[in-house]
Amino acid sequence: MEVIVVMILSAVVISLGYSVLRLIQDEFIMFHDRDNSLTNADQLDLTLSRDFERANQILFNKNSAELTFVDESRSVITYRFVDSLILRSSTKIDTFNTSAFSLKINNLDSLNFLPQILIDRLSFFIKISDKRLIRLGFHKQYPSQIFLDLNPLN
């Protein structure tokens, strides 16, 4: 009889141990996923900020949802916004596992002599979790020489 009581108590203790282990594991997985999402968002923010800073021209193609950066040496970096990914192509391809919502672009066509696809501002939201969105915004201040080079009146 005592052996049966000890076996039942042992089974209860072992079941509680596995239940606690499963709860800790589920919490760790949720933390890991949230951390990956935040790291991905930070990396996207850092990379886009650097590309905005280094680019001489930033072009956007509305038909293909492509953002193109051209620097002084004419090397090209392209961002493609697809369903649930943002792809960055240069000498290698980077994938950001997030989707962009509410893409807002400010182009410089209001000055009449500039191409409509040259942009100076970009903002959008990325999804971190089911309930959380983060807004990313970028701005490019062009040197005056670029406007003189693009002016068809010269």
- CA distance between the termini of the chain: 103
Considering 47-56, 108-117, 138-147, the range whose residues carry the highest mean pLDDT is 47-56
- For 90, the token pair is 């240069």
Residue 72 and residue 149 in contact, taking contact as beta carbons nearer than 8 Å: no
Domain ranges of the chain: 2-150
- Sheet containing 93-96: which strands, arranged edge to edge? 57-61, 66-70, 76-81, 86-89, 93-96
pLDDT tens figures, 19-56: 999 999 999 988 887 778 888 889 999 999 999 998 88
Lowest mean pLDDT of 36-45, 68-77, 98-107, name the range: 98-107
Query: What is the reported pLDDT for 111?
Result: 52
Mean pLDDT of the chain: 83
Task: Output 113 or 87, whichever has higher pLDDT.
Answer: 87
Would the pLDDT of 147 be above 80?
no
Nearest residue to 101 (alpha-carbon basis) of 134, 79, 69: 134
Determine the average pLDDT of the residues in 2-18: 92
Q: What percent of the chain has pLDDT over 90?
A: 28
* Beta-carbon count within 10 A of 112 CB: 8
